[in-house]
A and B are shown apart, each in its own frame.
Chain A
Amino acid sequence: MGTIGEAVRRRRSGLRAGVAGRILDFALIAIIAAFLILLGTKVVAQGGSFFVQILTFAVANGGIYALIALGYTMVYGIIELINFAHGDVFAFGAFLSGSLLPIFGLREGGAFTPVSAVALLAVFALTMLACAFLNISIERIAYRPLRHAPRLAPLITAVGVSFFLEGALFLWKGPSNVHYPNILPNAGFELFGATIGVKDLLVIGISLILMFALGLFVQRSRLGKAMRATAQDRDAALLMGIDIDRTIAATFFIGAILAGAGGTMYGLYYNTSVFDLGFSAGLVAFTAAVFGGIGNIYGAAIGGMVIGMIRTFWDGYFDSAWTDVMIFTILILVLIFRPTGLLGMRVPEK
C-alpha cells in the first residue's frame, strides 16, 4: 500500500533525523537544563525539608497519574484510539468509591482497624470492577461498531462518551466540589524534617504494586501475549487464532481497573472530587502517556511519574495558576522535539 508515500515519508524522516534532528535534540536538552537550573536554585533557597515534603507529594501524585496514563497508552497501543472517556472512568471511580465507603462502614473520624482495612480493600475491588464493566460497555457500544469506520468517527464518539459520563456525574453530584470521606489515619513519621503520612505510603505502595502486576501480566500471561500481538499487527494476530474482540475488551477492562484504583486513591489522598475531574486529570495523564511514548506501558508508567512530579514541583515552587499551561506546553514541546516520546515505538501511519 502506498509505496511512493512510504518512500516520501522515509526520506522526510531521514532528513529530520539529520541536521534538523540534532538541532532539535540540543534545543530540547537546553530547555530541560534551563528548567532544572531554575528549579535547583529555588530548591536550595527553600531548604531541604520542604524539598522532601514536595518530593513525597510528587511521587504519590505521579503514581496516580501513571495509573491513568497506562489506560490511555494500552488502548492507544491496541486500537490507536484516544479513549477520551478514560479520564471520566477515573472520575467515576473516585465518585463511586466515595459513595461506597459509608456503606462499608468507613466513616470520617472513625478508628482505622484491621476490619476497616478489609472493608477498604472491598471498596477498592468493587470500584475497580465497576469501572472495568463501564469501560468494556463503552467499548462495546461506542467503539466496536466503528472499528472500520474512518478514524474521525470513533474519535467523535469517544468525545461524546466522555461528555456523557461527565454529564452523568454532573447530574449525580452537581457542579460543586464533592467531599470525599477522610478515613485514613493522619499518622505519619518524620524524615529529614518532612512528614510522610500513611496516605502517601498507601498511594505510592498500591500504585507500584499495580504497575508491577500489570508489567508481569503483559509479559508473562497468555492474554498479555495476545494483547501485544494484537497491538503489533491485528490482522496477523487474527490469522494466528487470537480472538481480537476479546483481547481488545480485555485491554479496556484492565485499563479501567487501573483507573478505578487510581480514582479511589485520588479520593483517599485529596478528599475531594468534582464532576469534571476526569477532564483535567485525563489531559494530564494523556500528556504523560505521550511523554513516555504512547503505546508503551513502561513509557506511560515513567511518563506518569515524571509529569506528576513536574506538576507537583511546579505547584510547590512556582505559581500554581500556570501549572496546566506548563503541562500543555510540555505536550507541545514533546510533540515538536520527540513525537515518539521517551521510550516510544514508531507508530505506523495507517
Chain B
Amino acid sequence: MLRQFWERGPRRDPNTIAYVVLLVAAIFFPILVNVITGGNSSSIMTVAADAGVYVLLAIGLNVVVGFAGLLDLGYAAFFAIGAYTYAFLASDHMRVTPLGEPIHVSFWIVLVIAMFVAASFGVILGAPTLRLRGDYLAIVTLGFGEIVPRVFRNAAGWTSGVNGISALDIPSLPLWLQGPWSGDPFAVVPDFKIISSIGYYAIMVILVIICVILVRNLQRSRLGRAWMAVREDEVAAAAMGVNTVAVKLLAFSIGAAFSGFAGTYYAGKLSLVSPENFGFSVSITILVMVVLGGMGNIPGVITGALLVYYVIFVLLQQLPEFAVNFVTSIGLGGLVKSSGDYPGIAEFISRLKFLVFGLILVIVMLVRPQGLLPSRQREQELQKGVKEDTVIEDVNAETT
C-alpha cells in the first residue's frame, strides 16, 4: 500500500515526503537521544554533527556526479582546501609562517571565503580538463585529490607539514541570549563561543537546510536543466545552444564550493587540520554515499550519506569487538588469535572497510544503478542503458 501511495498517490514530487521525514528526524533526534541516554547525549551529538559534514559533502558531490554526470574522484581535495582556508585565516598559525602575523577572521565569514577559494580551485582544475572527454576529469580529479594533501604535507613552511595546524579559533556568535534552556540565568552574552555538541549539531542542521534549498533551486533553474541536457547527450545539448563547457565548469566549481564549505565547518568543529584526513578514501566514501543513496536525488543522497556514515563510523567500529565475543561464545575462540597472514578476527573485520566500499559501488551499479531513493529521471536513463543490450538496436539509434 505504501508503495502504491509512493508511486501513484501523490502526483507531486515524492521527495516532499522524504524532506518532511528528514526534517522531523533532524529536529527530534537530539531530544530522543537526550531521553534515551538520560541527559548524557554529548558524545552521540558529536558523532551526529560529524555525520552532517558528510551529508554536506554528499549534497555537493551530487551536483557534480548526479546532476552534471561528471565523475569527481578527488572531492576530498576541496574539502582539504576548505579546512586549510579556515586554519590559515582563523588561528595563530600564520605567526610561524613566513607571513609572521596571525590572522583571525570570523568563522561565518570564512565559510563564505572558503566556498570561493574551493570554487576557484575547481575552476582552475576544471577549465583545462572539462573541454575534454568526461573520463579525463575522473583521472585528473583523482590526481588532484592525491596531490593536494601531499602539497599540504610537503610545504611545511606554511602548513607545519604532517603535524597539521591545531588550536584553531572556536566558532562564536557575536550575540547570544542565555537562559534556563542552557541551565544559566538570563543574560545577553557577546562573543559567545560555541562549545556544546548540540550547538554544532544545530549549526549543521541549519547549514544542511540552506544547502538543500540552494541545490534544489539550482536543479530547477535553467542551469539545472542544462546540466540534465549535458548529462544525457552532450552533442545534442551543444546543438541546442547550451554552452557545455561553461555548464560543466559551473557544476564542478559549485560542487567544489560545497566541499570547501563543509571543510571549514569540519576544521572549526575539530579545531585541528592535518594532511592525513583528506585522502582518497574520503573521496570514495562520499562517492559511495551518493551512488548508494541515488545519484541526482537530494533526499536520496542525504539518506545514503547517513547510512554509509553509520555503517563505517559506528557499526564497523563496534563490530570487531562484537565478533570477538560472538566467535568466543560459539566455541571458535581460535579465530581470535592471529596466525601468519591472518591477523585475528577483530583486525580482520576492521580491515573490511575498503572491500565493502568496492562491493557497494559495483553491486549498486549492476543491480540498482538508480540507488536507494532514486531520482525519477535518472532512473529512466540508467535503466534504459542496462535493459537494452542488443547491439543492432544501438546501431540504429546512432545512425538515425
A contacts, CB < 8 Å to B: 1-2, 4-6, 8-9, 80-82, 141-142, 145-157, 159-168, 170-175, 234-235, 238, 244, 279-280, 283, 286-287, 290, 319, 321-322, 324-325, 327-328, 331-332, 335-336, 339, 347, 349
Contacts and interface: CB of A to CB of B under 8 A. Distances in A.
Chain A interface, >50% SS class: helix
Query: Chain B at the A interface: mostly helix, strand, loop or mixed?
Result: helix
B351 A170 contact: yes
Contacts of A153: 365, 369, 382, 385-386
B128 A156 contact: no
Interface in B386-400: 386, 388-389, 391, 394-395, 398-399
19 contacts: A1-B235, A5-B235, A82-B135, A146-B365, A148-B388, A148-B391, A149-B382, A150-B385, A156-B287, A159-B284, A160-B362, A160-B365, A168-B355, A170-B351, A174-B341, A174-B343, A325-B150, A339-B132, A339-B136
Given A150-B382, A325-B150, A142 B280 contact: no
A321 B136 contact: no
B234 A159 contact: no
Given A146-B385, A148-B389, A321-B154, 10 more contacts: A82-B138, A142-B362, A146-B365, A148-B388, A157-B365, A160-B357, A171-B348, A319-B154, A331-B140, A335-B128
Contacts of B129: 332, 335
A177 B369 CA distance: 36
A145 B236 CA distance: 26
Contacts, number: 187
B341 A173 contact: yes
Interface in B125-155: 125, 128-129, 131-136, 138-140, 142-144, 146-147, 150-151, 153-154
Nearest 4 interchain pairs by C-beta: A160-B361, A164-B358, A167-B354, A167-B355
B205 interface: no
Contact of A349 (B142, B234, B354): B234
B276 interface: no
Interface of B: 65, 69, 71, 73, 125, 128-129, 131-136, 138-140, 142-144, 146-147, 150-151, 153-154, 231, 233-236, 238-239, 280, 284, 287, 291, 295, 341, 343, 347-348, 351-362, 365-366, 369, 381-382, 385-386, 388-389, 391, 394-395, 398-399
A235 B358 contact: no
Contact of B139 (A6, A331, A349): A331
A204 B269 CA distance: 52
Contacts of B235: 1-2, 5-6, 349
Contacts of B355: 163-164, 167-168, 170-171
A165 B358 contact: yes
B392 to A, nearest CB: 8
B389 A349 contact: no
B361 A235 contact: no
B296 to A, nearest CB: 11
B391 A150 contact: no
B216 to A, nearest CB: 22
A167 B356 CA distance: 8
Contacts of A336: 128
A164 B364 CA distance: 14
A63 B294 CA distance: 42
A162 B365 CA distance: 14
B291 A156 contact: yes
A8 B358 contact: no
Contacts of A5: 234-236, 238-239
Nearest to B70: A152
A323 B354 CA distance: 26
A235 B394 contact: yes
A152 B65 contact: yes
Contacts of A339: 131-132, 136
A166 B382 CA distance: 27
A171 B350 CA distance: 9
B341 A163 contact: no
A207 to B, nearest CB: 23
Contacts of A152: 65, 69, 71, 134, 295
Among A141, A171, A335, the most chain B Cβ lie within 10 Å of the Cβ of A171
B147 A324 contact: yes
A156 B283 CA distance: 13
A233 to B, nearest CB: 10
